[in-house]
Amino acid sequence: MEILDGYLPASIQRAADLLTRGELVAFPTETVYGLGADALNSLAVAGIFELKKRPHFDPLIIHIGEKEWLRRYARSVPPKAAELASRFWPGPLTLILEKNDLIPDIVTSGLPTVGIRMPAHPVALELIRRLDRPIAAPSANPFGYMSPTRAAHVAAMFKDTPLLILDGGDSAFGIESSIVSFPSDSVRLHRHGALTAEDLTCAVGPLMEKKNDGSCESPGELPYHYAPHKPLVIVESIGEAKNPRSSYLSFKELSRNPEVRHIRTLSPKGDLREAAANFFSFLIELDREDVDVIYAEKIPESGLGRAMMERLHKASRKYLYITR
């Protein structure tokens, strides 16, 4: 385990050399930290699945260094995809497009489509451009666990593994990218993420939401993803927080009970962007406390609040799945 300052050119060079040799590197993005491999090297990509204990049927997204690279790896680019890329890249948006033969099947778990994103974090961009190849990267957490938003989270999650981590500070958004696909030239939202549905709608008109018939197009849509180890329960309000064996994730309300120590307030002034930036790191902290259950206060379901509530719902369903 080695953490290097990602803003130093020598660190970027070290990381790029490791990637060239087929090894893994954890790196910062503006959404969450990624666990990267050279996307064109199948064996290297296999290492990601191994380290994350991620089922092989869960496809990875690739990170590119310039908008133009889109056409290097996508067989075709529908007009609405081109429009979204020009508006929101670099940034927290993943486009699902038909892949060409340069992208190995292990990246997409055999799907004919690949998720592509140009991240905005300067360290990520430097690294990809130095490598001059796309980097396949899921969030740098063990499968099913929450995404890391700082280098120390990654270090704690993979503490027994030799792994180079580039430190680029706290992820500005703190929540994963939004994912869209383009069935018959419409736009379907697969995952609510750091770019809001409202922003997407402004750019390309009404969105199709993902199917809600229980079918599962990609396992990232498993109903119990992004979960802490402790059971999580969503509550209307944590105003009456009282159990010292519980921890509490409050949206903006402050607890009135001084005996409740394990409490984090996402944004005292109720700002969704600030809340998203704190979201995973606070949940990770609360999950580490010696408590039996985490209570999470409801977050207003507009903009980034949708993305956070989606993750809370998934985390709370994991518990139901276990106990059912």
| Minimum distance from residue 135 beta carbon to ligand TXA (Å) | 9
Instruction: State the Cα–Cα distance between residues 160 and 305, nearest whole angstrom.
Output: 35
Under the binding rule (CB under 5 A), the answer on residue 139 touching Mg ion is yes
Instruction: State the Cα–Cα distance between residues 226 and 232, nearest whole angstrom.
Output: 11
Under the binding rule (CB under 6 A), the answer on residue 228 touching ligand TXA is no
Q: Which amino acid belongs to residue 19?
A: L
96 vs 125, beta carbon nearer ligand TXA: 96
Residue number closest to ligand TXA, CB atom: 220
Give the torsion through C-alpha atoms of 204, 108, 119, 70, to 10 deg: -60
Number of chain residues interacting with ligand TXA (CB under 6 A)? 28
How many CA atoms lie within 13 Å of 87's alpha carbon, on the beta-carbon side? 16
101 vs 236, beta carbon nearer ligand TXA: 101
Considering only 75-83, 92-100, 133-141, 280-288, which stretch makes contact with Mg ion by CB under 5 A? 133-141
Nearest Cα residue to 40 out of 96, 100, 86: 100
Residue from 96, 151, 166, 272 touching ligand TXA (CB under 6 A): that is: 96
Nearest Cα residue to 252 out of 234, 271, 278, 224: 271
| Minimum distance from residue 92 beta carbon to ligand TXA (Å) | 6
Residue from 219, 231, 300, 303 touching ligand TXA (CB under 6 A): that is: 219
Q: Which amino acid belongs to residue 203?
A: A
Residues 21-50 interacting with ligand TXA (rule: CB under 6 A): 29, 31-32, 34
- Give, in order, the Cα–Cα distances in Å from 83 to each of 18, 67, 75, 286: 35, 11, 17, 40
Q: What angle do CA 210, 212, 214 make, to 5 degrees?
A: 120
Under the binding rule (CB under 6 A), the answer on residue 115 touching ligand TXA is yes
Query: Which residues sit at the interface with ligand TXA, rule CB under 6 A?
Result: 29, 31-32, 34, 58-61, 92, 94, 96, 108, 111, 113-115, 117, 137-139, 176-177, 179, 190, 217-220
